[in-house]
Amino acid sequence: MAEGPSQERLTAEGIIKIYTSMKVDAVAVAPLDLAAGVDILLASQKQGFPWLSANLLDLKGQPLFEPMRIKKVGAVKVGLIGLTGPLNSPPRGIRQADWRTLLPPLIEKTARQCDVLVLLSSLPPAENQEIARQFPALHLILSANLDRGNMNPQQVNNSLITQTDRQGKYQGVLTIDWNKNGKWGNSMDEELNTLRNRLGALDWQLQRMEKRVEPQLPEYLAKVKLIEENREAVAQKINALERKGKETGNGQASTSGISSFSSNFIPLKQSLPEAPEIRAIITGIKQQVNELNQKIVKKEEGLPFLGHDGCKSCHPAQTRFWQSTNHSRAWETLKKANQAFNLECLPCHVISNSEIPVNRNQLLALPKSLQTVGCENCHVGSGKSHAANPEQFHMKKQVEEKICLSCHTPQHDSHFNYQEKLKRIACPAN
């Protein structure tokens, strides 16, 4: 019997709708895709959604999803294989096979049917590199490591390994000039762009040198001469490549058997126009999650948190200062974004800390005094216990960096600087 709605299930259904509207060719099942259970993925697969995973098997050893598929792009046949990264605790009825056993025959079979062979993998980076070294028939590995962010193509054996940052912050564009009999080389366009950037940097250095107040010093003249020589050498390389491009007629190297590529990461800024159909799906997910979680809200009593109202009787100056910080308004930012009942977001926007684990559903029903990032988040501990017996139950006076980094992760705050931000939120001394 299918499970009832949950935040994870509603989110998964919405993401599948979004990918479907984008007409994706293939999506490899990653560990996080199983958060709402495998049934929703299998149901969407029956409706035509292109899930791939060669190493997720049922208890009889049969693949749960398509291991591979062939996509024709113009005259080129592209083979796509999916591998799921390690599962800490596989869902019931699923076992995860070792890629070392299943990949050799699968790659051999798929390589015979296609021109370009691509692996979609959420395995750790070291294992992706091991696969690239072991299987020269692989041309491209698109990885999904949550800690790596954007990764320019790196060549290992005859495979390029690359990925884009998580959470849709960038669009990765990989342009390939394919030669089916060849190996990877450099795109002439990419090499020209690199040389032109270098030429611009050298011109800038010369302009700065011209503004020096003592231009006749021997050291100055020697440095200018060296920059000018480097500039001339770069300019000659650019001219040679441009002539070569005109000779071949397409701007690409004519070396036989070489496949070239160029890559770019396009930041998806909020100022970019939105796709109305995608925006509608996202808005719908948020609304459904809010409505679902509001139904399970119960008045929570007996929580160990005191809240800022209780702290201010002994620490009035610190409380007044805290009220001027963004921490005091953290829950309000969720409310404005229609995410006030999103259980993925709440722990970093309300009273919560690592030493007092609570059921996350309890965070849905906090009183107003606890709907904030307050004293107990940063100073860690039970405010109630401390207030009742401050000599015995101490709060941490120094806010440790690991406390901040539990919420200010690179995914949510890529420019976070602990020392700098600590100065801005440090309470006045008692």
pLDDT at residue 252, rounded to an integer: 45
Task: Give the 3-state secondary structure of residue 298.
Answer: coil
Assess contact for 252 and 188: CB atoms under 8 A. yes
CA 17, 19, 25, 27 torsion-angle sign: negative
pLDDT at residue 105, rounded to an integer: 96
What predicted TM-score, i.e. pTM, was given to this entire model?
0.67
Element (H, E) at 419: helix 418-425
Assess contact for 160 and 137: CB atoms under 8 A. no
pLDDT in tens, the chain (430 residues): 345 578 888 889 999 999 999 999 999 999 999 988 899 999 999 999 999 999 999 999 999 999 999 999 988 999 999 999 999 888 888 999 999 999 999 999 999 999 999 999 999 999 999 999 999 999 999 999 888 889 999 999 999 999 998 878 889 999 988 887 667 876 666 677 778 888 888 888 887 777 665 666 777 788 888 888 889 998 998 888 788 777 655 444 444 567 888 888 988 877 788 889 998 998 888 888 887 877 766 655 567 788 888 888 888 898 899 899 999 898 898 888 888 888 888 888 988 776 676 777 778 878 888 888 988 888 887 888 888 888 888 888 888 888 888 888 877 787 788 888 888 888 887 5
Assess contact for 18 and 281: CB atoms under 8 A. yes
Report the alpha-carbon distance of residue 422 to residue 253 in Å, rounded: 53
pLDDT at residue 216, rounded to an integer: 67
pLDDT at residue 248, rounded to an integer: 59
pLDDT at residue 253, rounded to an integer: 43
Report strand pairing: 159-163 vs 140-143. parallel
The terminus-to-terminus CA distance of the chain in angstroms comes to: 59
Q: Which residues of 328-352 are buried (b: 16+ CB within 10 A; e: fewer)?
A: bebbeebeeeebbbbbebbbbbbbb
Report the alpha-carbon distance of residue 238 to residue 261 in Å, rounded: 19
CA angle in degrees (0–180, nearest 5) for 14-15-20: 100
Report the alpha-carbon distance of residue 75 to residue 179 in Å, rounded: 12
CA 11, 16, 20, 26 torsion-angle sign: positive
Assess contact for 263 and 174: CB atoms under 8 A. yes
Cα within 13 Å of Cα(60), Cβ side:
3
Q: What are phi and psi of 415, to 5 degrees?
A: -110, 20
**Listed residue (178, 49, 63) closest to 117, CA to CA:** 178
pLDDT at residue 402, rounded to an integer: 87
